[in-house]
Structure formats: C-alpha cells, structure tokens
Amino acid sequence: MKQFFLASIVAGALALPAYAADYTIMAPAAPGGGWDQTARSLQAALQEEGISGNVQVVNVPGAGGTIGIAQFASQQKGNPNALIVGGYVMVGAILTNQAPVTLADVTPIARLTGEYEAIVVPASSEIESIDQLIEALKADPGAVSWAGGSAGGTDHIAVGLLAKAAGVDPTKINYIAYSGGGEALAAILGSQVTAGISSYGEFQSQVESGALRLLAISSDERIEGVDAPTLKESGYDVVLQNWRMVAAPPGLTDEQKAAVLADVEKLATSATWQETLKTKGWADTYLAGDAFEEQLAKDISATETILKDIGLVK
C-alpha cells in the first residue's frame, strides 16, 4: 500500500506542467516605455504559454539602461532565473555615458523585436508636415525642442541623423531626454516641446485617437496601416530601426545558458508572442545565440561611428 501511495505521488508530480523556471525580468527604464512594454509582454507570453509558472517584472530606470544593467550584472551573477530587456537604446547610452558596465558584462540571449521611429507633434501644433518641422529646425535649431528617450539612444541618434540630412549641425539640436516613454508622452501632449520622437508603438494609440499628429516614420518604405510618409521619401536619407533584446546575467554555465535560450526560443515561436508582435506593431527580428552575439558586436561598432559623426561621442 505504501509503495502504491508513493507511486501515485510520483505519477501525480510527473503529470504537472514542467515549468522550466520562475523568471524575474528587469526593465531598465520607467513604466510606459518600450522596454517596459517588452518586459510585460514577455511576462504575459511566458506565463500564457506555460513556459514559466511565475514571472515578475521590476523597473530600474535611469541613464538609458546603464543603471539597470550595472545593478543586474553585479546582483544577478550566475542566476539563471533573471533576465534583462535592452536594445539599441542601451548600446548608444553605454557609449555616450562611457558606462563602466556594458553588454560585454551580461550574457546576450536573443534579439526579439524591431520598430521604426515616429516623429509626432501635438494635435494643437501649427506644424502640419515634416517639411514644416525641418524649416523651423533650419531657421533656429535651438528653438525646436525634441522629446525622446535617453541621451545617446535611438531617438537621439535619429534626430541627429535627421538634422545632418537636412544640413543642420547635429550638435546644435535641442534634445530633451526622458527616462520613460510615459514622461516623454506627457511632455508632448502638454505642448511642453515642439516635437516628439520614439518607436511608433509608443505613440500609436494617441495618433489613432487624434491627440498626436504623425509627421513621418523612419522605415525604408511606407508601413501598411501607418498614415505617414517615410523620412526617405520626404527627402531626408534616414532609415533607422530600434531593436530590442533579452539578456541573462554573467557567470551562467553552458547548461544554464542553453536552458534560458530554449525557453526564449519557445517564447519567440509561440502563438501568444506572434499575436503580441501583431498587436504592438513590432517586427519579428528574432536572432539568437552566437549569430546574435556577432550581430551585436557589429551594431556596437556601427553605433559608435554614428555617435561620433553626430557629435555625441568624442
């Protein structure tokens, strides 16, 4: 009877869902922005798909993710249940801030999404087109204020590249950096700045409701369902995509890294995640393992060149 009882317990345990891990995901920015949205979308999909039984999200904002990544690298070393969201913004911020902790100090797992930059003004603005905004920029670069994400991040790079393409000295732009998408959005909606720039998904609902006017987007071709010209077709040779990634802490064993990678791969191919990409308007740019690490090294080098070119890095 005792053996039967033990066998029943073992059989019952085996019948339970085999969750790989309970994860804690750090979004190294304030609530409301792209990293926060990505972290919470990962949380929902990992749980919905049964890949993880319990996923928590923590926000550690500041300095383009460099505060978060420093904390993550030191406090979570060797922990296979911790993840951090990052991306192109972090690459630029690390270079601009000359941060002591870099992406070399964590374990890159995969690039997940890509999103193009959108330039908007409040609906009450007198500026009706991207050409009108550039005319104002040419007339007095300092008088045109831009709200965007962290200094040296994708938004800042995009404004610098746009200024350069328009024949304006990119070092003269008046760029106001916000640590979270919610803060930047409030500044734009409150007409505290001339224009705003961020990934399209962060403005989509306000554009669709009529609270914001979309002037242009940084894709190479027009995007279906997005009623705006590209910067390129408007005569400004700027194409830029903001990608986002997920990384694990340093100090993982090969087996631990493989287990995390397997979970992220399950997530990336899941129905829940694919639906999330469609809902959010995020491109599926999934690239994992060694291939991602090689691409990341190229992106860091290219970004350093761009930042030097527009005067953000000496």
Do 11 and 110 have their domain in common? yes
87, 59 in Cβ contact below 8 A? no
Asked if 13 and 110 sit in the same domain, the reply is yes
Kindly state whether residues 124 and 92 are assigned to the same domain: no
Instruction: State the angle between helix axes of 66-75 and 88-97 in degrees (0 to 180), rounded to the nearest 10.
Output: 90
Last residue of a domain, one of 184, 217, 250: 217
On the question of pLDDT at 8 being above 80, the answer is no
Q: Is the pLDDT of residue 12 over 80?
A: no
Instruction: Answer whether residue 207 is part of any domain.
Output: yes
Is the same domain home to 54 and 29?
yes
Mean pLDDT of 137-155: 93
- Are 99 and 122 in a shared domain? no
User: What's the number of domains the chain is made of?
Assistant: 2
How wide is the angle at C-alpha 304 spanned by C-alphas 163 and 109, nearest 5°? 120
Average per-residue pLDDT for the chain: 90
**Domain of 193?**
116-217
285 vs 181, more confident: 285
59: tokens are: 């926000």
- Structural domain includes residue 65: yes
Percentage of residues in the chain with pLDDT exceeding 70?
93
Residues 157 and 208 in one domain: yes
Are 57 and 94 found together in one domain? yes
The pLDDT score that the predictor gives to residue 4 is: 46
58 in a domain, yes or no?
yes
Q: How many CB atoms lie within 10 A of CB 97?
A: 17
Instruction: State how far the Cα of 199 lies from the Cα of 154, in Å rounded to an integer.
Output: 9
Does the residue 236 lie in any domain? no
Token pair for 36? 């926060």
Both 167 and 155 in one domain: the answer is yes
pLDDT score at 17: 45
Residues 238-290 pLDDT 10s: 999 999 999 999 999 999 999 999 999 999 999 999 999 998 888 899 999 99
| pLDDT reading at 9 higher than 60 | no
Give a yes or no: residue 133 inside a domain: yes
Assigned domain for 143 exists = yes
Q: Positive or negative CA dihedral for 132, 134, 138, 144?
A: positive
Residue 283 belongs to a domain with what CATH number? 3.40.190.150
108 and 172, same domain (yes or no): no
Confidence (pTM): 0.78
pLDDT in tens, 68-96: 999 999 999 999 999 999 999 899 889 98
In-domain check, residue 85 = yes
